[in-house]
Amino acid sequence: MASHLETIDDETGMEEWELSVEETGAFETVEENASSVDPGWKDELNLAEFPIAALTDRVPDGQTTLVFEDKLERRDSTPIVRRLTIMGTHKHGLPTSLDDEVLVGLIQLTKRRSNFTDPKVQFSRYELIDLLGWPQSGQSYRRIEEALHRWVGVVLMYENAWWDNQAKSWVDENFHVLDNVTLYDRERRRPAPRPGKAAKGDKAGAKPVFEKPPLPLSSFRWNEVIFQSFQSGNLKQLDLEFYLRLRLPTTKRMFRFLDKRFYRRSRLDFDLRTLACEHIGLSRSYAPTELKRKLKPALEELEQLGFLEPLSAEERYSYVTRGCWRIILIRGCAAHADATPAQPASELIGALTARGVTAKIAADLVAAHSASRIQTKLEVFDWLQHNKDKRVGRNPAGYLVASIRSDYQAPGDFQNAGAKAQAEAAERTAEEVKRQEKRRSRAAEKQVEDREAELRAAWERLPEAEREAILAAVKAENPGLSRWKKMLEPLCLAALEARLAAPRAAQQTLFSDGAGQD
């Protein structure tokens, strides 16, 4: 598959919800209304399922392949083994944790530019760096270029692991993430609009014509496979502000995966090794005890921010057999805040057939459109029939089907007739929920800030030799991060936190019934 990256010198100057995997292995996608641009941020579901990058910012020299796989159990047939192989180039290597963050940013730029209607996206590195909250420095610009070079060169090989949302099936797909990237050496920034010259014959006092600012000159183009996944609605909402606030790469990866899986369930139960190694990206060489230790900082960060319900080690992990553990994850208040319960598909199909729609067409409508759209159109349809509107007089069922497919607007007096009071009450409730969530979020942030302050104070109290030892250990585990203080510092604090917690953990292990079962 051809792909290339061009660098051009310019001398002239400078995201409704979708669903996670059920036990059957199938996705159920709720289609967005393509005619209205949703300001929310998005994540592609296949990219949230398996890691497509290493957890560190430097992959060992010579390593150009990563493999992740799991087994998907199904009720009525044999299990599916899903496997993802990530192949990097010898020149640019495998994608890293920061490259993964850049890719999340590219998805948001696509949402912002065209709402996923055009695979080619014009952008500026300044805009992307600002979106990611990185410092506007030469180092950030270079890091963006490195990431784009990698994503053009990387090949993703999905074996029974890419969900084709149009075919509703797991398929094999091999592709580059980006087919083409064009980077200008100096991008034109958007100047403030300025009045243009008045045209001849203009009347005195006429408003000046403002010149349009130049568009960003750099661009990237998505590969056809991933862009078709965007267009088929294989997307979920992403709390980008929450995602970027997370400190550790492990936390960010865990958040994206769990945020997808929490769509219909508030409690998840995984094999520890499958979750940690195949969906988060930790090394398969770690024993269960080491996997728990590596996951602990990420779990605590998500607990402190309210995404996960806090659990003790005894509640979090359950022993199965030697070397085999289960991990329990319960959705917290922050995850609940964005969850909207969907009406079961069977109920919607029944509601449509009760109004004259055939069972097959009703099933197709429910599969292709969001539950909220169908429910709204049902309410409008019932209101029109009650008022003997001529639009539903000749072929009521045909009108209902067309209104869902074409997203007919509700009549102007529909809101006034029955829903105004209900909408106002819902708005008041939503505002109160937002206020409560803000209070919880502020409390959670304060807790995180206080804990960080405690860790920083403990770090300052450490003898110089101990600080150097921790720093050396972190650098050894994450080669190359010394260039990135932003990522190195939280890892040092996490290592210190693990060291401070070690005596308490040792005491608990001493009196634990399951001691030595790893």
Q: What is the pLDDT of residues 258-300, one digit of tens each?
A: 999 988 788 999 999 999 999 999 999 999 999 999 999 999 9
For the chain, the domain total comes to 4
**Which tens digits make up the pLDDT trace of 92-107?**
889 999 999 999 999 9
- Same domain, yes or no: 180 and 249: no
Which has the minimum average pLDDT: 21-30, 109-118, 379-388, 434-443?
A: 21-30
- Same domain, yes or no: 80 and 228: yes
- Same domain, yes or no: 274 and 263: yes
Picking from 341, 375, 395, the residue at the C-terminal end of a domain is: 341
- Same domain, yes or no: 12 and 139: yes
Is this structure's pTM higher than 0.75?
A: no
In the block, tokens 């991060």 appear at: 481
In a domain, 363, yes or no: yes
Alpha-carbon distance 49 to 372, whole Å?
25
Strand order in the sheet with 155-164: 65-72, 80-87, 155-164, 169-176
- Same domain, yes or no: 363 and 484: no
| % of the chain residues with pLDDT over 70 | 77
- Same domain, yes or no: 258 and 384: no
- Same domain, yes or no: 55 and 74: yes
3-state class (DSSP) for residue 24: coil
Phi-psi region of 302 (alpha: psi -120 to 50; beta: other; left: phi over 0): alpha
- The whole domain housing 334 covers 241-341
- Same domain, yes or no: 41 and 179: yes
- Same domain, yes or no: 47 and 168: yes
- Same domain, yes or no: 327 and 391: no
- Same domain, yes or no: 327 and 365: no
Q: What are phi and psi of 193, to 5 degrees?
A: -60, 140
In a domain, 105, yes or no: yes
Strand order in the sheet with 4-8: 4-8, 178-184, 218-222, 120-123
- Same domain, yes or no: 39 and 84: yes
